[in-house]
Amino acid sequence: MHTKTDLNSLKKHNFYQMMEMAGRVFIVVRYSPDVIIGKRGFSDQEKKQGLVLVFNSNMSFQWDDFGITATLAFGTAPQKCFIPAEHIVAVYSPDINAQFLAAGSDEQKSESLKDKSLDLQKKSPDSEKSSVVKVDFSKKEKI
């Protein structure tokens, strides 16, 4: 049986591998009172759907045994943030077309990522009420 620490180490490893390859990595963070997003916090929608954060190789951040500590900019306002690794549900890089998903334990999530994915696939991407963010992972070729 794998421990929570093993899974968090795998998230960290994938994050740094993608950062080395692409120079930019996105993470999806589920809402928890343990996640600190400065004074900004989570919006009501983000509490339900999660928050996408972008990291690049020029940023100053630290991922230790507990999670990621960084100052992130939202608009022009820098916010001191702490994201516990256990609340990171996805690590991905559109630049290299790679993603790592981790649902966590049943106690930590309200619905599985599989159920969420199936639900999102049923919604029309053109619908204003859709919670799907369309991301094109293919590289554009210059003509």
Q: What average pLDDT does range 15-31 have in this prediction?
A: 97
Q: What average pLDDT does range 22-38 have in this prediction?
A: 96
Please report, rounded to a whole number, the percentage of residues in the chain having pLDDT higher than 70.
71
pLDDT confidence bin for 1, thresholds 50/70/90: low
Q: Which two tokens stand for residue 32?
A: 């928890």
> What's the residue count for the chain?
143
Of 51 and 113, more confident:
51
Backbone phi and psi for residue 74, each to the nearest 5 degrees, phi listed first: -120, 105
Q: Is the pLDDT of residue 21 over 90?
A: yes
Tell me if 72 sits within 8 A of 65, measured CB to CB.
Answer: no
- The rounded distance, in Å, linking the Cα atoms of 16 and 57 is 10
Tell me if 29 sits within 8 A of 53, measured CB to CB.
Answer: yes
Q: What is the pTM of this model?
A: 0.71
Tell me if 108 sits within 8 A of 88, measured CB to CB.
Answer: no
